[in-house]
Amino acid sequence: MRSDRLIPAVHAAQCAWALAVATFFAGGLVAISAVTARGESTATPSSPPSPGQPGTADANARRLTDAIDKALDSSWTTARIEPAAAADDAEFMRRVYLDLTGKIPSVERARKFLADAAPDKRERLVDELLGGAMYAAHFANTWREVLLSGTNPELRTSVPELESWLRLRFAANTPYDQLAAELIAASNEGTSRRARLSAATIPSPIAFYQANERKPESLAASASSVFLGVQVQCAQCHDHPFAKWRQTDFWSLAAFFRGVDMGATAPAVGDPTTLALVDSFDRSGLPIPGGKGTAAPRFLDGTEPTWKPELGNRAALAQWVARPDNPFFARAAVNRVWAQFFGRNLAPAADSSESALAGHAELLQEMAGQFVANGYDLKQMVRSIVLSRAYQLSSKAKTLQGEQAIYFAIMPVRRMTADQLFDSLVQATGFYEPPASRSQQQPFQNDSARVEFRNTFAEETAGASETQTSIVQALALMNGRLTGDATSVESSKTLTAIVGAPFLDTPGRIEALFLAAFTRRPSNEETARFLAYAKSGPEDKRLADVFWALLNSAEFALNH
C-alpha cells in the first residue's frame, strides 16, 4: 500500500494531464480528479447515524455499503459511464482472499466456495476471513509498509516488534483512533533498561521512531502523511507558491516530536535495545532552518494545545490527531483503506488542489462521518467496502478503460506486494512450512526464505513505475529455487498430491492445478491444450511444466 501523493497546483498546471494520467496508470494512489460541470452532482449523502442510535455492527456496515453503492451509482449515471460486469465467484474469491488475508485460497476452500449455492455466501466468506488470523497478519504487513514508507527498505524486513504490535491491534480490531494515539504517544518510560534489552520480543511501535531516525522532521512528515493524509513536509525547506502549507506549519508540527532524538546515545537502526523513548515537556519548539526564528508546537489547524503540566508534547498531539472533529483524521483513514482495496484514493487528499469527481467527495465525507460514529471500527469499514458493488465488479476489459477506472466502475488490475506474492506461492505450492512463530501472539521471526524474497520483490520506493515487474524478479520466478522446488515432483506438496491422487484423471489433475494457482477452473479450450501437453510425455513431469507456467503467469502474479 502506497502513501498518498499530491500534485501541487503549480505542477499540475505545468505537467497537465500527462502527469496525472501517467501516475494514475502507474497504479499509484494519486487522486485523479476533474472539474465537472456545475450541477451535475446528484449525489445526496444520507445523514450518518447518530452515535446513540441502536444498531448492530452488521447493520452499520450494511448501511455504509448501501451508501457507497448509491453514491457511485449516481456518479456513474451522471458521467454516463457503464460499469464493468459483476465479478464471478472465482474472481471475487481470489481478490477478497488477497485483500483480506494477503494470499490466495487453497484448492479445498475454492472448491467449497464455488460449489456453495447459498445467496449469502460472499458475506459469509468475508466474515470468515475478517475473523481469521491471516487478516491481522496481512493488515500488519500492509501497515508496516505504510508506517515505514520512505525509510530504509532493508529495515522493513526485520521489525518483529512492530509487526507483532500491529498484529495484536488488528486482531483485536483496536479502534483506529486508539491505534494512532498509541503510536504518536509511544513511550517506553518506566521500562527498565533490562526490559528494553529484550525489546525485540515486546510488541511495540517504537520501530516507527527508529526507522525515522528519531528525527522530529521525519516523524512529523511520516505521521502527518499516514494519519492526516497531508503532505506538509513539502514545506520543510521553504514555502512554495500556491501550496497550502507554510514552512512554519511544518516545523510547528515537528516541534511536538522534539526530544525524541535522545542526543548522542543513538542506537543502531533496527536495534531497539538501547532506545529510551519518553515524551518531552519542553514547549520551546524547534528552530526553523535558515534562521527564520523558532516554531512552537502548534496543530495543523492553527490552534495550540491547552497545556497542562502532566501533558507531554506527543501526548497532546495524539489527542488532537484522534479527536472526532479533526478535519483530516477520519477522512485520511477512509481514503487510505479505500485505496487498499481499489488501488487509489476515493477523493483527493485534503491539501490537494485537485477537486473530486462528482459525488466522490460527498461519499468520502459520509464514510468518514460513519467511521467516527461507529467508533473507528476498521473491520466494519473494510466489510462495507468489500461488499460494495464497486468492489465486486470485474477487472476484465478488452481495451484500456481509463474513464471507468477513474470512476471505480471497473476493478483495476493491481500488482501484489512482496508478501502477498510470497504467501500466495506458499499457499499454491504447499512446499513451504511457515515458521511456527507466525501466530499473531508471537513476535514475527522473519525466516530467510521470506527475507530473500522480500529483498528481490520489495519495491525500492513507491515510485512512478509501480506497474513494472523487474527482470530480476521475472528471472527469480522462472528459474529460482522457490519455483524450482515448488514445481518439482519430488519436493512440491501440492504437485505431489495432485499427481498422485488416485481419484483424479488427467483433466481432473489439470483442473486441480488451475484451482491451486488461479482459484478457477480451466476453460474447455485450456483443458484441451493442457491435456494435449500432459499427454506429450511422462505425465508427472508434464504436469510439473503446467504448474510452472501457471505460477509464472500474469494471472497468478497480479491481483485482479
Q: In the structure grid, which three cell numbers stand for residue 504, read together? A: 483424479
CA dihedral 270, 275, 279, 283 (to 10 degrees): -90
Cβ atoms of 81 and 40 within 8 Å: the answer is no
Binding to other proteins in span 202-221, by CB under 8 A? 221
Q: Which of residues 4-63 bind other proteins (CB under 8 A)?
A: 5-8, 11-12, 14-15, 17-27, 30, 32, 34-37
Contact with other proteins (CB under 8 A) among 249, 362, 366, 466: 466
- Which residue, 403 or 505, has its beta carbon nearer to other proteins? 403
Contact status, residue 345 vs residue 27, Cβ threshold 8 Å = no
Closer Cβ to other proteins, 334 or 543, answer by number: 543
Q: Of 353, 382, 357, 354, give the one whose Cα is nearest residue 367.
A: 382
Nearest to 7 by CA among 462, 349, 459, 460: 349
Binding mask 363-402 for other proteins (x = CB under 8 A): --------------------------------xxxxxxxx
Say whether 559 sits in a helix, a strand or coil. strand
CB of 512 to other proteins, least distance (A): 16
Nearer to other proteins by Cβ, of 21 and 449: the residue is 21
Q: How many residues bind other proteins (CB under 8 A)?
A: 94
Residue 33's φ and ψ, nearest 5 degrees, are -150, 175
Which one, 196 or 520, has the nearer CB to other proteins?
A: 520
For the bound state, the minimum distance from the C-beta of residue 26 to other proteins, rounded and expressed in Å, comes to: 7
Q: Residue from 471, 502, 503, 524 that binds other proteins (CB under 8 A)?
A: 471
Closer residue to other proteins in complex, CB, 337/411: 411
CB 478 to other proteins: min, Å? 7
Taking the least distance from each CB to other proteins, the nearer of 246 and 323 is 246
Q: Which is nearer to other proteins, 141 or 401 (CB)?
A: 401
Q: Minimum distance from CB of 349 to other proteins (Å)?
A: 11
CA gap 383, 126 in Å, rounded: 7
- Of 57 and 558, the one with the shorter C-beta distance to other proteins is 558
Instruction: Return the number of the residue (258 or 415) whose C-beta is nearest other proteins.
Output: 415
Sequence-distant (≥ 6) Cβ neighbours of residue 137 within 8 angstroms: 101, 102, 167, 438, 440
CA 434 to chain centroid: 22
Per CB under 8 A, the list member of 198, 284, 439, 553 interacting with other proteins is: 553
Q: Print burial letters for 354-373: b (CB count within 10 Å at least 16), e (below 16).
A: bebbbbbbbbbbbbbbbbbb
Shortest distance, position 289 Cβ to other proteins, whole Å = 10
Locate 180 and state its grid cell.
494512532
Residues 6 or more apart in contact with residue 524 via CB below 8 angstroms: none
Q: Any idea which residue has 542506537 for its cell?
A: 267
Interacting residues with other proteins between 333 and 362 (CB under 8 A): 357
Minimum CB distance to other proteins, residue 426 (Å): 19
What letter represents residue 531's amino acid? L
Q: Minimal distance in Å, beta carbon 107 to other proteins? A: 18
Does 468 bind other proteins (CB under 8 A)? Our answer is: yes
**DSSP letter at 393?**
B
> 244: helix, coil or strand?
coil
Q: How far is the CB of 253 from other proteins (least distance, A)?
A: 14
User: To which residue does cell 466494519 refer?
Assistant: 380
- Which residues, 124 to 163, sit near other proteins by CB under 8 A? 150, 152-154
Q: Which is nearer to other proteins, 241 or 502 (CB)?
A: 241
According to DSSP, the residues that pair with 287 across neighbouring strands are: 294
Would you count residue 293 as binding other proteins (CB under 8 A)?
Answer: no
Window 406-435: contact mask with other proteins (x via CB under 8 A): x-----xxxx--------------------
Q: Closer CB to other proteins, residue 276 or residue 413?
A: 413
Alpha carbons 271 and 267: distance in angstroms, whole number: 6
**Alpha-carbon dihedral 195, 200, 203, 209, rounded to 10 degrees:** 100
526 sits near other proteins (criterion: CB under 8 A):
yes
According to CB under 8 A, which one of 72, 98, 181, 234 is a site residue for other proteins?
234
| DSSP for 87-117, written as a single string | P-HHHHHHHHHHHHHSSPPPHHHHHHHHH--
Candidates 174, 446, 469, 527; binder of other proteins (CB under 8 A) is: 469
